[in-house]
Amino acid sequence: MKTLFVKEYEAPRSWFVIDAENKPLGRVAAKAACMLRGKHKVTYAPHQETGDYVVIINADKVLLTGNKPEDKLYHHHTGFSGGLRSITYNKLVQRHPAEPILNAVKGMLPKGHLGRKLLTNVKVYAGSEHPHAAQNPQVLEV
């Protein structure tokens, strides 16, 4: 048996578009992370960037169940003493509609330089329009 290795620059890359309208946040993020890693391909290797590009539209209309829109908190630290800041999901969506999906996808990718590199392959837009029509993205169902 032979193990097939593909160089990162020779790997075929495709573009996919995910419509997040009325879809659960975790399901959209999990599907996007899987496509970014390339786990759906035969040539998957955990140490290589052989995944595809993902465009997520309607990020502001993603679905959260129960009381999560009011109760879910996002934290960040300013770097100063006592600088832990928190913001609820509803306020974060009003300020930056794409941020909750980006945070969810980032949490599902590997930590380190490979995860940061993979995160550049996801494009998140609040509305239904995106500037990547020239790449002929395929519609991906969640």
Q: Residue 3 falls within a domain, yes or no?
A: no
Whether the predicted pLDDT of 28 surpasses 80: yes
Average pLDDT over residues 33-55: 94
Q: State what percent of residues in the chain have pLDDT above 70.
A: 100
Average pLDDT over residues 112-132: 96
For tokens 């980006």, name the residue: 102
82 lies in which domain range? 15-139
Q: Residue 98 falls within a domain, yes or no?
A: yes
pTM of the model: 0.92
**The total number of structural domains that make up the chain:** 1
- Give residue-wise pLDDT tens across range 88-108: 999 999 999 999 999 999 999
Residue 79 sits in a domain of what CATH number?
A: 3.90.1180.10
Q: Residue 5 falls within a domain, yes or no?
A: no
- Give residue-wise pLDDT tens across range 11-23: 899 999 999 999 9
Angle, CA 102 vertex, CA 111 and CA 131 arms, to 5°: 125
Q: Residue 64 falls within a domain, yes or no?
A: yes
